[in-house]
């Protein structure tokens, strides 16, 4: 009998006794046992902080991103073995693909975020705030990794995705994790965790695993830890209300199952592509993962005159959905994860049946292919109909966490919005409509009670990821019943694991701390020219003070001829009455172009190319006769990895281009991005 193990304090070991037996959800056969009894959670938190956290906090965002990318590539090579084990949870191949490759995709997505962070172990947030008249005292914000651990308590439905989508974010932030998957499906999480640990890609202590019940896992958390919970709203609220959480002010992110709704717009009538899409996508959301998704469709809200047709369409598709062993040809829906879940979903269905009618499905009489439905955790899709959803409101309060949904009518789009919001806060809703005005009305009206809204029509259907798929670069969470939390969301998710701190001081000091040039800081003159220096030799703040150029009418005419920009303010002095200009004015792009001519050192050197321009703005008109010069300052440096052995070792350098006139006043500002060779490629 397989004994699935915990990974803690750098070792794999059994818990004491047997807390939970785990079973194959298709056959009902016992496949192993798990226990976390006896784990020293206080020691695990200390180990995470002092061992894993210490190593992660020393790494820059660029290094952490590359680490995640390496881990994603490693797991992709091993993904095939996860599919067989995933099927033991009742998952079809499509279900498993979402869990396995969707989870690994989160690693890739978070790895790519490194391009949005500085080449530092901490993040510089926003822009400087001037705090004094003379400019010698400024404020800024930095965000540093929390010096604790992320404790992730995950649900049974996605044993791989649930772990990877969360640890990808905390690892990117520089924070280690202790993961407690559901004991019922932790055997799959244990398998992939072994591959992660064996790869040695993560610093030791970055990841610890609890496969059992995890009793006491929150007893020793402090304000430096972050707790996330995914699962039922009732359990989440109990954990969030623990005295230790409140007393220590522990950040707690609750992502709870919710009564998500999909709306058929009035313009998506039978015969339109959108109507067919609605039927297809709704059935998909009912049956994928056998409805065991926190984002699954629980309420189907349709125009009252289309209720019959929609009901028939959904029922027909559900009738053609084959249930059974995912390895069998034609099976499109597997089982629930456990027999316990069958009992729970059945109880919810029976409760819902008191106020609404089943129009498709049967709790006892349904066919299962290739398996014994009395041994496996199989469940029939159930479609309810509720003709009076504003009065019979159980469908807005009771969630059957399986392939169960309720169809209901609405009269106006405002009614549809109100019905959707009666779920008291949802992770997601969707509207299928070809009419953008209708979509706008729904989105703006419903957004306050939803974490995400999908607008689906024929134009985006081919590439749409669907109602039920949270994406790593978009936030996942929702208000009210959905928990009031937020995770993922690209950079937003990473910031949840960082502590924001305001810093104040002289611009030179703040430049040193942030490693970003701040206006008013010391600007030592570069010698030699910055274009003659390699990436490692450049110092933040060093500046080239260029020669000057006096702008002439001929400059303006010649630039207009070259660029084709004959805007009246540049070319017609008689048309300036009523404008802000005193006379014809030089093109802003001429000013920047001339600035480049002044600051560029033309000889071949370490600078490989200029590949971008950011934050360009023109702050003062430049008239003929004005004399301009440039302060060209090293603003920020970002390391860049080599893509291959033959690639050139290089980094990205941002330069501040400050163009000023004869009065010393700035007339244009921009940031240029350059690619600069490193010394080992000299």
Q: What distance in Å separates the CA atoms of residue 530 and residue 532, rounded to the nearest whole number?
A: 5
| Nearest Cα residue to 148 out of 229, 65, 208, 222 | 222
| Nearest Cα residue to 420 out of 449, 383, 451 | 449
User: Is the separation of the CB atoms in 632 and 543 below 8 Å?
Assistant: yes
Known catalytic residue at 294: yes
DSSP, collapsed to helix, strand or coil, labels residue 40 as coil
DSSP, collapsed to helix, strand or coil, labels residue 58 as helix
Q: Which listed residue (33, 101, 190, 255) is catalytic? A: 255
Q: Are strands 20-23 and 30-34 parallel, antiparallel or unpaired?
A: antiparallel
Tokens of 442: 């729904």
For tokens 């306050």, what's the residue?
448
Provide the sign of the torsion angle of the four alpha carbons 644, 647, 648, 652, taken in this order: negative
DSSP letter (8 states) at residue 625: T
Task: Judge if the upstream peptide bond of residue 528 is cis by omega within 30 degrees of 0.
Answer: yes
Q: Are strands 177-180 and 207-209 parallel, antiparallel or unpaired?
A: parallel
Q: Which residues contact 164 (CB under 8 A, 6 or more apart)?
A: 103, 104, 106, 107
> H or E element: which one contains 417?
helix 413-421
For tokens 């289309």, what's the residue?
306
Q: Which listed residue (101, 281, 294, 486) is catalytic? A: 294
613: phi > 0 → left, psi -120 to 50 → alpha, else beta; which? beta
Longest distance between any two alpha carbons in the chain, whole Å:
92
DSSP, collapsed to helix, strand or coil, labels residue 431 as strand
Known catalytic residue at 308: no
The phi and psi torsions of 124 (rounded to 5 degrees) equal -100, 120
Please state, in angstroms and as integers, the Cα–Cα distance from residue 174 to each residue in 82, 168, 222, 253, 528, following that order: 27, 10, 18, 18, 37
Active site residues: 255, 294
């Amino acid at each position: 009998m397989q004994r699935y193990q915990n990974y803690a304090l750098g070792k794999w070991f059994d818990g004491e006794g047997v807390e939970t037996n785990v079973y194959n959800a298709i056959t009902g056969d016992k496949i192993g046992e798990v226990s976390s009894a006896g784990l020293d959670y206080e020691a695990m938190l200390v180990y995470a902080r002092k061992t894993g956290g210490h190593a992660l906090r020393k790494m820059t965002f660029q290094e952490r991103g590359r680490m995640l990318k390496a881990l994603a590539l490693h797991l992709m090579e091993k993904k095939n073995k996860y599919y067989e084990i995933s099927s033991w949870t009742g998952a079809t191949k499509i279900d498993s693909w979402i869990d396995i490759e969707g989870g690994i995709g989160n690693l890739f997505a978070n790895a790519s975020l490194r391009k949005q962070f500085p080449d530092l172990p901490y993040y510089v947030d926003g822009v400087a705030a001037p705090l004094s008249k003379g400019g010698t005292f400024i404020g800024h914000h930095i965000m540093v990794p929390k010096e604790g651990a992320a404790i992730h308590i995950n649900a049974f439905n996605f044993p791989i995705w649930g772990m990877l989508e969360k640890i990808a974010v905390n690892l990117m932030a520089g924070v280690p994790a202790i993961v407690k998957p559901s004991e019922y499906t932790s055997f799959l999480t244990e398998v992939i965790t072994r591959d992660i640990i064996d790869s040695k890609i993560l610093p030791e202590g970055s990841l610890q695993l609890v496969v059992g019940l995890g009793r006491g896992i929150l007893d020793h958390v402090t304000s430096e830890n972050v707790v996330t919970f995914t699962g039922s709203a009732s359990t989440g609220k109990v954990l969030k209300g623990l005295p230790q959480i409140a007393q220590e002010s522990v950040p707690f992110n609750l992502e709870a199952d919710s009564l998500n709704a999909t709306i058929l717009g009035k313009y998506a009538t039978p015969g339109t592509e959108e109507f067919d899409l609605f039927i297809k996508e709704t059935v998909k959301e009912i049956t994928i993962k056998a409805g065991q998704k926190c984002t699954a469709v629980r309420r189907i809200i349709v125009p009252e005159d289309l209720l019959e047709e929609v009901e028939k369409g959904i029922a027909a598709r559900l009738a053609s959905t084959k249930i059974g062993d995912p390895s069998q040809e034609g099976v499109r829906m597997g089982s629930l994860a456990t027999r316990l879940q069958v009992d729970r979903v059945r109880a919810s269905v029976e409760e819902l049946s008191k106020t609404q009618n089943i129009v498709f499905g049967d709790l006892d009489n349904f066919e299962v292919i290739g398996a014994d439905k009395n041994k496996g955790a199989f469940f029939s899709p159930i479609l309810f109909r509720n003709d009076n959803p504003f009065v019979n409101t159980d469908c807005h309060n009771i969630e059957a966490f399986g392939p169960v949904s309720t169809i209901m009518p609405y009269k106006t789009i405002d009614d549809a919005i109100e019905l959707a919001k009666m779920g008291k806060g949802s992770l997601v809703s969707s509207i299928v409509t070809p009419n953008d005005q209708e979509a706008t009305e729904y989105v703006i009206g419903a957004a306050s009670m939803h974490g995400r809204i999908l607008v689906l029509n024929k134009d985006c259907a081919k590439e749409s990821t669907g109602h039920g798929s949270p994406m790593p670069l978009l936030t996942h969470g929702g208000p009210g019943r959905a928990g009031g939390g937020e995770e993922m969301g690209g950079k937003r998710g990473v910031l949840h694991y960082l502590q924001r701190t305001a810093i104040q001081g002289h611009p030179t000091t703040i430049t040193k701390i942030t490693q970003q040039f701040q206006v008013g800081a010391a600007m030592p003159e570069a010698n030699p020219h910055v274009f003659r220096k390699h990436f490692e030799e450049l110092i933040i703040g060093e500046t080239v003070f260029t020669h000057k150029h006096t702008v002439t009418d001929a400059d303006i005419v010649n630039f207009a001829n070259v660029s084709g920009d004959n805007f009246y303010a540049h070319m017609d002095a008689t048309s300036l009455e009523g404008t802000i200009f005193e006379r014809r004015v030089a093109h802003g792009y001429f000013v920047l172009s001339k600035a480049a001519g002044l600051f560029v050192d033309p000889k071949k050197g370490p600078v490989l190319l200029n590949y971008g321009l950011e934050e360009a703005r023109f702050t003062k008109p430049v008239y003929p006769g004005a004399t301009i010069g440039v302060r060209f300052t090293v603003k920020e440096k970002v390391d860049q990895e080599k893509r291959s052995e033959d690639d050139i070792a290089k980094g990205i350098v941002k330069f501040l281009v400050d163009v000023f006139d004869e009065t010393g006043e700035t007339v244009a500002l921009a940031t240029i991005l350059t690619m600069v060779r490193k010394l080992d490629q000299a």
